[in-house]
Structure 1
Amino acid sequence: MATICLRITNQDRVGLVLDISQVLARDNINILSMEVSPNIMYLEIESLSPNKYAFIHKQLCLIPQIITVDLISNMPHQEREQQLKAVMDTIGDGILAIDKEEVITHFNPAAEKILSYQSNEVLGKKIKDIFVSEIPLLEALHEGTPYSNCEFVVSTTRGKSHYITSGCPIRDANGITIGAVAVLKAMHDVKELVYSVTKPHINRFADILHVSEKMKHVINLAKLVAKNDSTVLIRGESGTGKELFARSIHMESLRREKIFAPINCAALPDALLESELFGYEDGSFSGAKKGGKSGLFEYANAGTIFLDEIGELSASLQAKLLRVLQDGKIRRIGSNQEISVDVRIIAATHRNLEEMIRKKEFRDDLYYRLNVIPIYIPPLRDRKEDLPLLIESLLLKINHRLKKQVTHLSQPAMSKLMQHDWLGNVRELRNVIERAVSLVSQGEITPEHIMLDQMNLQTASSVLPITNRKLKEVLAEMECHILREAIKTHGTSRQVGNVLGLSHTGVLNRMRKYDLSEKKV
């Protein structure tokens, strides 16, 4: 029905509404809605012809205390509803509201996307006709209890939806509950928001320090393959920087704005690793989080997942990973439903996968799925020309962290480092430089400050034969040895205390305990 709206300004008096109603009733005009406030009245009536409107307008203006009668486009409550709808439509979070009869009254576009329904399909329907499983919004309605930031995986007649929700009852001026409203945020949006706020610095290829031709070749290859979505298998000894390369490949790819999710396959027990990778359903095992939990493959959807130490995967997890690589689908623990994921996989290992395949320890079909783009990072001993650049960078970082002022290495110290084989690669180099900086108050690092891991093992085995000896005796002998070497190097007990992080009194007490003195040493 076509309608028109009137705004009537007036001087308020008793009986004014009755007079207006009588004018309209005499011409059989129905009042569809009315809003009254001090000195102003709004009417919505059925549409009138121009002549009839002119007649009614004249009759209304003749009523005492009426000042003006004007046509307006909408009633105030209609304008408020339009403004509210405009606000709700622009909000990125889903808004779902129900009245006291559990009927859905508001359902914005974000809620449509999260719950896979159009508003015209749900408005005016009971919420239980849409949601198969229980939802907290009904508790807010019937018990009057608000809730905040609850994670839910709920079932609707269209499938399952995973979101974070907050809700509260709606009360009138008398405190009576007349409905409830919920705010929904899709779980993948929550994860991306958390990641954008908490993500660590993601390395780029420019952060990989090198001058050697071998590293230049590897970096150029990695940059080339980063642009596509092919699976990458990074090979190299422990400490060569495999995760650094994985992060750099991600940042060079088209997925750089999405999540990079690393996980060490050797660091977690098999059952825990499976739940971390694939997630689980509510009640799938004892201690499972209510509502279930998404795994890393869901978390990193549209991004990159880095599987370090891939050679440590059990046979069952190898089979599940193969399924992801083949079909792009995962299945949570305790679920029969498959979830499609779009994740680029970068794997890494220091183990000989080919030998593991021969021993039936690693699936050959998984190997070929992972080894699409193989990248081999050379060990530090094969690119020793990179040592000075790496050492310079490490000195800056360690000086800053330890609040030292060690400026450089002497030429003999550098020669000593260049002759070492670096079985632990960059990780070992970092330890050796930090150890040397710790032993120097300021100035330069000399050869006596360079304590290489291989030398330490030899010293420890010669100084500390532990056969048939108590731990207390072994520790005491090691402490005595460290003190003696520190006194030889630094000369005074006060300097020894600074290096070893002990008080001057603590050093003197230990020297008396082991009958050490600066002169004897």
Structure 2
Amino acid sequence: MFSIKKHGNNASNEAQAIIESSHDGVIVVDQESRVTLVNKQAKEILGLPDQVIGTKITEFIPKSDLLRILRTGKKEIGDICTIFNRELIINRLPILEDGKVVGVVSNFKQIDDIQKMEMKIRKNLHQSGLEAKHQLSDIVGNSNVMKECKDLAAKFAKTNATIMIFGRSGTGKELFAQGIHLSSMRKKGPFVAVNCAALPESLLESELFGYEEGTFTGAVKGGKMGLFELAHGGTIFLDEIGEMPIRIQSMLLRVLEEREIRRIGGERVIPVDVRIIVATNRELDQMIQENTFREDLYYRLNILSLELPTLQTRLYDIPELVYSFLDALKEKHSHPVKAFSNEVFSLFYQYNWPGNVRELRNVVERMVILADDETITLKDAKFLTIKIKKHTHEKKKEIEHERTVILSLLKEEEGNKTKVAERLGVDRTTLWRKMRKYNL
């Protein structure tokens, strides 16, 4: 924000000279949205006539965002928009006189192709931006297993130790990471979420650690700050850590040990104060055996661990989840739905939910979109009934196959259960349990 005092024409001439020296387009409007200052770059970018001073900005840009700043008095930095088929990155700042908004100054420049690509990557890479939105108290679920998870997460939040969150897809790993951040001493700092499976190795490296100018063809002028630097003073959440290439795992290990990074192509060591939370749905123990995940990194990451339950192990939470989704969908869809029948909830309890809470939300949304009445009934849930029947059939085939295999091995090994257990890769207790189950 700018605070100004009136000093006459000399000040206006000086201001005009200053903005003409800028490489960015600059335009200033007064409280009536009339243009008071504009430089050559702004005229060229926006296609404004030479005699633009004194005219309202809306004569050239009918829906100018500067009107919003005049109304709210709030600055806007780094906005991306298209004006006259030109993609611009724009800063808008209110001008204050004695605490009142008397105008707006805006500076902007065109986004070149490299910048466009970078911004798209950043948008896809950490859609949650640099801000956590969900508190631990926002996480729906009052089953015993969920209460234990939230209590443990709250304890973890009081420390600065690295956390590893285990959980299948759709169990809410990022929700817990955000909740831990917002319950910690770092809550006023940034929260940076990164999906390690979203980008190829070279792009993931440059996003995490940044690079210096001239490092490679297409590098942004002046270089680029990495996400570890952006997360300084806050938390970085590395999702799908099991997908991180071995070479970058080595670089991450250095960050954990030294608490510093070095940009690609740079020599300067940059200290970073970052709390690291990682998440995975992979079996990292097995990946260590396969030499696809570093054992030393695993132990540095797994200081505190939190294992999230599948939806199938917390069926008690389904009604609360369903109605929370229903409330959220009211803002997204216009629908008459107010309730779900007991028969539909019975289906929810029967289904195995491989996609967990995320899949439940999608199922609820589909039912709401297709429903004609205030209550969701079995006629709105035919697709789920088909899924359950298919799963039941596949499970039956799986059981029949396992019974046949055990029976065959028992014959081959002449009833030697120790040898059968070894060939199945299970212990004798597990084999005995399966034999009783299949009446063998």
TM over 0.5: yes
> Which residue does the alignment assign to 2:288?
357
Looking at structure 2, the residues matched to 330 and 275 of structure 1 have their Cα atoms a distance apart, in angstroms, of 12
Instruction: Tell me which of the two structures has the higher relative contact order, counting C-alpha pairs closer than 8 angstroms and 6 or more residues apart.
Output: 2
* Matched ranges for 1:74-113 at <5 A: none
Looking at structure 1, the residues matched to 149 and 321 of structure 2 have their Cα atoms a distance apart, in angstroms, of 17
Question: What secondary structure does 2:212 align onto?
Answer: coil
Asked whether 1:299 is paired with 2:175, we answer no
Q: After superposition, give the CA deviation of every residue in 1:255-304 in whole Å (9 maximum; x if it has no partner).
A: 00000000100011111111110000001011000000000000110110
Looking at structure 2, the residues matched to 250 and 265 of structure 1 have their Cα atoms a distance apart, in angstroms, of 19
CA contact (8 A) 1:399 1:405 kept: no
CA spacing shift, 1:452–1:315, aligned 2, 3 Å: farther
Looking at structure 2, the residues matched to 208 and 346 of structure 1 have their Cα atoms a distance apart, in angstroms, of 18
CA contact (8 A) 1:297 1:343 kept: yes
The runs of 5 or more residues in structure 1 that have no matched partner are 1-89, 91-139, 150-163, 165-194, 460-521
Aligned counterpart for 1:418 among listed residues 322, 329, 349: 349
* Equivalent residues, number: 282
Looking at structure 2, the residues matched to 216 and 207 of structure 1 have their Cα atoms a distance apart, in angstroms, of 12
Stretch moving more, 389-398 or 445-454: 445-454
Looking at structure 1, the residues matched to 248 and 339 of structure 2 have their Cα atoms a distance apart, in angstroms, of 48
CA spacing shift, 1:452–1:423, aligned 2, 3 Å: farther
> Which residue does the alignment assign to 1:277?
208
Question: What secondary structure does 1:305 align onto?
Answer: strand
Looking at structure 2, the residues matched to 426 and 447 of structure 1 have their Cα atoms a distance apart, in angstroms, of 21
> Which residue does the alignment assign to 1:31?
none
Q: Which runs of 4+ in 1 moved over 3 A?
A: 198-201, 451-459
> Which residue does the alignment assign to 2:190?
259
> Which residue does the alignment assign to 1:403?
334
CA contact (8 A) 2:193 2:237 kept: yes
Asked whether 1:146 is paired with 2:77, we answer no
Question: Which is higher, the Rg of structure 1 or of structure 2?
Answer: 1
> Which residue does the alignment assign to 2:369?
438
Asked whether 1:203 is paired with 2:134, we answer yes
CA spacing shift, 1:306–1:255, aligned 2, 3 Å: same
> Which residue does the alignment assign to 1:371?
302
Give 1:201 deviation, angstroms: 5.9
CA contact (8 A) 2:130 2:192 kept: no
Looking at structure 1, the residues matched to 342 and 372 of structure 2 have their Cα atoms a distance apart, in angstroms, of 19
Give 1:442 deviation, angstroms: 2.7
CA contact (8 A) 2:132 2:191 kept: no
Aligned counterpart for 2:316 among listed residues 341, 364, 385: 385
CA contact (8 A) 1:435 1:451 kept: no
CA contact (8 A) 2:350 2:388 kept: no
The runs of 5 or more residues in structure 2 that have no matched partner are 4-16, 26-77, 79-125, 391-440
Give 1:451 deviation, angstroms: 4.7
CA contact (8 A) 2:347 2:384 kept: no
CA contact (8 A) 2:213 2:222 kept: yes
Give the letter aligned to residue 21 of structure 2.
Answer: T
Give the letter aligned to residue 145 of structure 1.
Answer: S
Aligned counterpart for 1:240 among listed residues 165, 171, 180: 171
In the superposition, the TM-score normalised over structure 1's length comes to 0.51
CA contact (8 A) 1:432 1:452 kept: no
Q: Give me the CA root mean square deviation.
A: 3.2
Looking at structure 2, the residues matched to 417 and 453 of structure 1 have their Cα atoms a distance apart, in angstroms, of 8
CA contact (8 A) 1:305 1:346 kept: yes
Looking at structure 2, the residues matched to 337 and 454 of structure 1 have their Cα atoms a distance apart, in angstroms, of 60
Looking at structure 2, the residues matched to 371 and 224 of structure 1 have their Cα atoms a distance apart, in angstroms, of 16
Looking at structure 1, the residues matched to 304 and 349 of structure 2 have their Cα atoms a distance apart, in angstroms, of 32
> Which residue does the alignment assign to 1:324?
255
* Matched ranges for 1:220-239 at <5 A: 220-239=151-170
Question: What secondary structure does 2:237 align onto?
Answer: strand
Question: What secondary structure does 2:338 align onto?
Answer: strand
* Matched ranges for 1:151-170 at <5 A: none
CA contact (8 A) 2:261 2:271 kept: yes
CA contact (8 A) 2:347 2:385 kept: no
What is the percentage of aligned positions where both structures have the same residue?
Answer: 47
Looking at structure 1, the residues matched to 327 and 214 of structure 2 have their Cα atoms a distance apart, in angstroms, of 51
Looking at structure 2, the residues matched to 425 and 146 of structure 1 have their Cα atoms a distance apart, in angstroms, of 54
Asked whether 1:455 is paired with 2:356, we answer no
In the superposition, the TM-score normalised over structure 2's length comes to 0.60
